[in-house]
Structure formats: C-alpha cells, structure tokens
Chain A
C-alpha cells in the first residue's frame, strides 16, 4: 500500500505491506531511536508522536500514519536536549534502552502540562517501564529541569 506522511518534518511517500507496524517502518527509515521492548504495548519503548500525541508504534500499523505527521526522537533532538542533561546529571540514563520512549513521552507531557507535579509526572509516564533506574532518578532530573526554568 502507498502511504504519504510527514516524518520528522520531511514529507515522504512509501510503499508498505498492510501488516507492517509503524515501529518496523520507522526503524527501516533510519529512526533507530525507536525501540522494541515487549510486543504487547506494555513497555513504552516504542513511543513516538503522531500529530503531536504520544502513541505506541509497536501497536500502530504503518498505514495508520498515512496523511499524518510522525515525530521520533531523531526529529526532536533540540527539544529533548533542553532537559535530558538534567537526567544525565542524576546518572539515571543507565542502560538507556528505555530512554528514547521515556524522553518522547516526557516531551508530550511537558507540551501538555508545562508545570506538572511529581504525581502528574509519575502518572503520565507510568506506561514507560525502566528496569535499571528505579525511576526516582528520572523524576529528580525532570524536577531539577522544571526548577531551573523557574529560577
């Protein structure tokens, strides 16, 4: 099937199988930040933005992206750079395999709610699993970033 979409700001056309999932399509297009962790929509590693909203690309068919705009972390480096250094300062990146999905969802959170409480952060990011960090370091990083913006 032929699809047209805007990927990280560029208009592209592609031919995809009906059963190709968006995750595989995006990796094939070189967006290697998009990770597969579970196959069952439980881990959040494959989070990308469709028309600005976070979706799980492992459970979205590529054809569903037809006519839409997709952003992966490759396309949002500057926006992510604003805050990920604060997470690095906590050492909370750890193995890093969950980082792109978690960073994408954090971007979505901060766009929707620029000044979230800790509980709002936990709730919004609850679908992003991390097995290494125990989560609190990620939270401290985001909190320090938010505080730095107020200072």
Chain B
C-alpha cells in the first residue's frame, strides 16, 4: 500500500467557507438575490389522481398584487425529466410544467406570480378548480398491471431503454443472473427467504428547495439555484421551456444541504417559467411542508431476498428481488434500484458462487421519489446485512465471524459489480479494527440491566461506489495569477461537504503552495468547465482526478513559458514551488514573472482545463457497530454508542471525512428509529412537517466514534475513494440486529418504532 507523506493531503484543514458560514454571512440563494422578485407560489392538488375538469382564475387574478396565474393551458407541451442525470437520462420524460392530469396529492395545478407572498396566498384561495376524480394507485405492491395507469398519455418518452412500459405502470425492470443460482441453492444446508421494507425518507436538508430566475445583462435567463447540478439544470430548463441552452445561465451560491434532494431540479422550472412569461425576476422558496410532500425523497422499496448457505456459515448464493416505488414521476427510478443489488451483493464476493438480481420499478400516485444519499444501496444493504446477521444467529455463529468468513477482500473480482476488481479494500481490517475499538466480544452480549432494560449490540457492513463508471465527467480549470497564487474553477457543487476545500488541498499538494493560495469557484454554467455535478459519490474521485491532471498540465505550461524566458529548452527547467529553475543552476524565474509574461505577447496561457472520467467505480467499505439499551416495557431504543471504521482509500481531509461519516450515521439512525412516512387516504404523507417527521436531535444519537483504515486506490487522486454516501448504510441493519438480540424479534420494516417493539413483546 502506497502511503506517502504529504504537505496538504490527508490533513484536516478548515473548510474554505467555514468562517463565512459560522458567522452567518449572506451566502445562500435567498441572501444573495435581489428582493424585488415576483413571489412564485404553487396551487397543489389535494387529490392523488384526477383530471382538472375546469379551472377558474378570474377572481384570483383580481387580487391586488397578483401579476398572473398559469394553468395547464399556458405551458409548453414537451415532456421532460427533472432528474439531474447525464444525457440521455435513464429517467423517463414524463412531466409537464403543469399537467391537466394531476398524479399525486401535491402535484401542480396552478402557478401564481405575485408582488408579495400575501397576495399570492390570497389568490391561491380564490382559484376555483373542478376535478374529475380517478382511482388512485396508492399501494406499490399492486401497481404493476393495475387497471389504473399513472401515465396513460401517449407522449411518455424514455430517453434510453430501461425496460419500462407505462401501460403496465412499469418504469424499469431487469433480471441478471450469474452462475447456477437454483442448482447451488439446492445444495445449501440452509436457505432463508425474507422480505424487507424501507420507506420514502425525506432528505430534510435544512435549506428548503429554492430558486431565483432573472435576466442577465444580455437578456438571457439567469438562474441562481440551490442545486447540486448546474449543467443538468440548464439542460432540463432548455427542454422544459423550449429555449436554447445558450440563452440560459445557471449558477449556485452556497447550498444549505442537499443529500441528493438537489440532484433533481425540483423547483427550478417554476420561477424560470414565470420569468419567461412576465419578463421579470421571479423567486420560489418551498415551505418545509412543500419540501416534505412535493420534494424528491428516497425510493420506498420492498426487497425479497433468498440466501443459501452451509452450516459452517459459508454464504454461497443470493437471489435478490427489488420492487421500487418511484411515485408519480420517474426521477432516478431506473437507476436507484440497480444499487440495491450491485452495491449490496458484492460485500459477500469472498464466498458467493452465484447470484440473481432482478427488479421492477413502478409508478404510483404518491410523491415522486428521487436521489437520496445511498441511492438504493442503503435499501439493499438493509436486506442483505439483516439476513446475514439472521443467518449467523440461526447457526449460532458470531455475527462478525460469519462476515470474516464471507466478505470481499482486496484483489478479488466482483461478479455482482460489473466484474470490477477490488484494487483497494480494507474491509477485513475495518472489521478487526472496529471489533477491538468497540469491544464487540463484551458488548454484543445480551445484558439484562435489572430495570426492565436490556443492553446489547449489532453489526453491519456497507459499501458504495465512487462515481458512475463510464458516465460521470469532472473537469477543473486552473489558472496562475500574477502573484503566484491560483484560481481553481469547478462545475462540481460543494453543498457543505467541503469539496471546494479538498480539491484546493490537491492543488496545494501538487503546485507546492499553501491551501490559502488556492481560490476556488463553483459552480456556474457560464464560467465552470463541464462537470456532471456533485452526486454518486463522484466529486473527490472524478473531479479530484481532473484537478490532478490540471495541475500537471499547468506545471508544464508554466515551465514552457519559463524556458522561453530563460532562453533554453523546456526539458532543461523544473517547477520549484514559487519559481521555475534551470536544472542544475541557480537561474530561476518567479511565478509572478511567469504569470506576467503570459500576459504580454504570449501564446502559451498560464491556465488549463482538464477533464476526467473513469471506467471503474471503486467501492469504499465500512463496518458499523451499535450498542443499544432497549426498554422492554415501552419499546424505546436508546443508542448508547455507534462506532464505525471506514475505508475510503486515503482520506484527503480526515476531519471532513469523519464529519461526513458522523452525519451519515445520524441520518441512518433517524431512518431506523424515528423518521416514518405514512399516508392519508389521498396518499399525502402524514409527516408533512418537522412536528411529525422527527429527524434526530443531538440527544437521540448516543456517542459516535469514527476511525479509518487506509487503502490505496490506484485510480483515485492520492489513493482516495469516496465517502459521502456509504456512511448512511450501516445503521439500519446494525440497529435491527441489536434489537433482535435484545428481543428475539427481527424487524424487517423501517423505521422500527417503540410501539412496534412494545406490541411485539406484549404478544408473548
């Protein structure tokens, strides 16, 4: 394993924006945009499935301050997708800006543009809508081939073939088999078959969806949005509005959290449309309720898993079927589902001889799902890891020992992961490290505390990827300034994760300067080099390599300019931090002089743009262990300690990698114990505010301890893999395992609430 000493890499430097953020400076969309914009509000359907028979806006338009109100009759008729994905998107073109056919309780019926919020809300009450109610598909288990079609329209269009058929409510399907699944299943001593269910969790980022649209000095549409995907948003708006991409500019300021929610252009099209219609700046900011009921949450999934193993604990075969609920529109539907198999099954490459992975993704008349940190891997890993723990308990084996026996190890080929090779894998060391740190042997024992409470522990492993292989593109522009400092310009989006900082650390390492001497700007479609955007755990790995390439190229150009200045061959000079030296001599020219030279009669620029993509997506790995205290009377579960050891290759910034891990673990704890999504009779989420949707507070997450095991990924920058998503994947199965050890009951549906636990114990 390569492990160099670095000056700026593997160092916990402060985030570049940290003091701005901590001192409350105005850096977010609503802070940096002018206040004179029209307020955009959306009248939403109360019904899950209906046709707008008639809509009367006459009285509403008379409200003083109302500028205009738009209905289905006013919008372009080209269907589009709002998923932020590389073209051609796997997500179907199934939306209109306003559709006469409303497909979930929360779907858009009218767009109101007004001078003030008050006027807009007053007008909203005066719009008279007559609906023709249609039967609704509210249970995703009955969606496939249901006589009620969510998308009966003829102009439904898949940009690429993913096995969908809207006449069956089917968005995507596939079936992949490796090896003799049934033959090996028949040879196994023990075969388990179970079904697991996870909900449509909300990202609940602190800044709700928000977007501002105006016109720039050339009269082009200028979007300032809280988005992870500036380039995809430009493409989406171009199609939805029917205007050329050259007439649109999309930029993001600081983003108040994303977690994948802002990998979908959830709200951007509405102010953009209003701006185009009125010629005036327009702004929308979703309420928390809108963010909860008309956002872009996790795909609800039901996973049926069959696992065949031998009595000694050897796991030989898995057959995993996923039914995924994409809701009323197909954003990210065809792709999230793939990770339930491809980023769960490979954990057991060590012993797995055969596998089958098949799935269906269905439409329902519920809120459309989207991208959420983990992106299907979270759901798949809940199923696979829960079952491995159940197998261990059934066989009387230690749950960490069965994993030691079966897990993926470095150098193995992963048939369930596109036959990629695990070039960097420290999962075995993560397990051993976590076992020691946590004191698994002692703390996994079931201990009756004598007061109605039981303490015990659970374990789970996790993996993810580091980009979408052969798809994601990252780019970096690096410029030398006249004082020898650098500007790094990216199209990736720092949404709080710290990518601006870790990419600057890479520049500092390679250009041998201080991190403070690297200014970072991102992201703006007019200025930034193309980047797919910040998602799929790709920024460190993909954009990071683009930064490495840009540094190497810029060094060459700097040397070319310097060689000209010293009147020698390029081969005769070497880059030396603040200057270029003629090799073997004391003759140097400073970066300042080189930068000025590039500005006078020069054809060699002191700047470069480099691009990177990757044919592989190296998985990071992780082990999580949790100690809980369970109250047998009330069913309440308290997290005492959550410890994790992560292999993300070489962490570029250990502090930021640690915080990512801690934050992901706490989100996972929320999904497992308290964040629920239930629906009323119209399929509207009951958990429509933070009153009902309980995200963990700092009193709900116990004590965290996170450490790292390094591996060195040869295709990543400085040996790095990803960190952003994997961290949410272990709490579900680890906590469910601990609850089993405390109660003897397996809970296969999340969240596991106190009442479910108490009721199951009361049944005894």
Contact = CB atoms under 8 A, between A and B. Distances in A.
A69 interface: no
Question: Which residue, A43, A74, A90, has most C-beta atoms of chain B within 10 A?
Answer: A90
Contacts of B667: 131, 134
Interface string A77-96: 10011001101111111111
Interface in A71-114: 72-74, 77, 80-81, 84-85, 87-100, 103
A96 B496 contact: yes
B436 interface: no
A93 B699 contact: no
A137 B659 CA distance: 7
B152 interface: no
A80 B288 contact: no
Contact of B663 (A42, A43, A94): A94
Interface in A1-53: 28, 32-33, 35-40, 42-43, 45
A134 B495 contact: no
B549 to A, nearest CB: 26
B761 to A, nearest CB: 28
Interface in A125-143: 125-139
Nearest to A45: B206
Interface stretch (B19-27, B59-67, B166-174): B19-27
Given A95-B205, A95-B257, A126 B22 contact: no
Contacts of B746: none
Contacts of A151: none
B255 A137 contact: no
Contact of A126 (B20, B497, B697): B697
Contact of B18 (A33, A35, A93, A129): A93
A103 B24 CA distance: 9
B289 A39 contact: yes
Given A95-B496, A131-B205, A33 B25 contact: yes
A73 B653 contact: no
Given A37-B207, A39-B287, A94-B496, A74 B659 contact: no
A64 interface: no
* Chain B facing A: main interface SS: loop
A97 B256 CA distance: 5
A85 B704 contact: no
Nearest to A31: B24
Question: Which residue, A38, A80, A92, A137, has most C-beta atoms of chain B within 10 A?
Answer: A38
B370 interface: no
B695 A134 contact: no
Contacts of B429: none
Interface string B688-710: 01110001011101011000000
Contacts of B496: 93-97, 132
B22 A88 contact: yes
Given A74-B24, A91-B656, A96 B256 contact: yes
A92 B26 CA distance: 19
Contacts of B320: none
A16 to B, nearest CB: 13
Contact of A96 (B14, B22, B695): B22
Question: Size class of B's contact patch?
Answer: 35 or more
B153 interface: no
B288 A131 contact: no
B666 interface: yes
Given A90-B655, A137-B658, A38 B690 contact: yes
Contacts of A74: 24
B259 interface: yes
B290 to A, nearest CB: 10
A134 B701 contact: yes
A81 B23 contact: yes
B22 A103 contact: yes
A130 B690 CA distance: 12
A83 to B, nearest CB: 9
Contacts of B704: 134, 136
Contacts of B208: 36-37
B690 A73 contact: no
A97 B207 contact: yes
Question: Which residue, A32, A39, A91, has most C-beta atoms of chain B within 10 A?
Answer: A91
Contacts of B656: 91
A26 to B, nearest CB: 12
Given A88-B14, A90-B655, A135 B257 contact: no
A90 B662 CA distance: 12
B31 interface: yes
B17 interface: yes
A141 to B, nearest CB: 9
Interface string B278-305: 0000000001110000000000000000
Interface in B325-350: none
Question: Which residue, A35, A97, A130, A135, has most C-beta atoms of chain B within 10 A?
Answer: A97
B634 interface: no
Nearest to A139: B698
Given A32-B26, A32-B31, A132-B257, A126 B699 contact: yes
B195 to A, nearest CB: 30
Contacts of B701: 134-136
A129 B695 contact: yes
B664 interface: yes
Given A33-B24, A93-B18, A133-B662, A122 B698 contact: yes
A98 B691 contact: no
Nearest to A102: B22
B72 interface: no
Contacts of A123: 699
Given A96-B496, A127-B697, A88 B15 contact: yes
B737 to A, nearest CB: 21
A40 B288 contact: yes
B28 interface: yes
Question: Which residue, B287, B655, B664, has most C-beta atoms of chain A within 10 A?
Answer: B655
A88 to B, nearest CB: 4
A91 B697 contact: no
A136 B208 CA distance: 24
B18 A88 contact: yes
B204 interface: yes
A35 B663 CA distance: 21
Contact of A95 (B31, B495, B661, B697): B495
B22 A84 contact: yes
Contacts of A127: 697
B651 to A, nearest CB: 11
A96 B689 contact: no
B24 A91 contact: no
Contacts of A122: 698-699
Contacts of A103: 22-24
Contacts of A128: 698
14 contacts: A40-B288, A40-B690, A45-B206, A85-B22, A91-B14, A91-B15, A93-B17, A94-B498, A95-B254, A96-B18, A97-B28, A128-B698, A134-B666, A136-B703
Q: Which 7 A-B pairs have the closest CB atoms?
A: A95-B496, A33-B24, A96-B21, A97-B256, A134-B662, A42-B690, A100-B24
Interface of A: 28, 32-33, 35-40, 42-43, 45, 72-74, 77, 80-81, 84-85, 87-100, 103, 122-123, 125-139
Interface of B: 12, 14-15, 17-28, 30-31, 35, 203-208, 254-259, 287-289, 495-498, 653, 655-656, 658-659, 661-667, 689-691, 695, 697-699, 701, 703-704
Given A97-B207, A129-B206, A138-B698, 4 more contacts: A91-B656, A98-B206, A127-B697, A131-B257
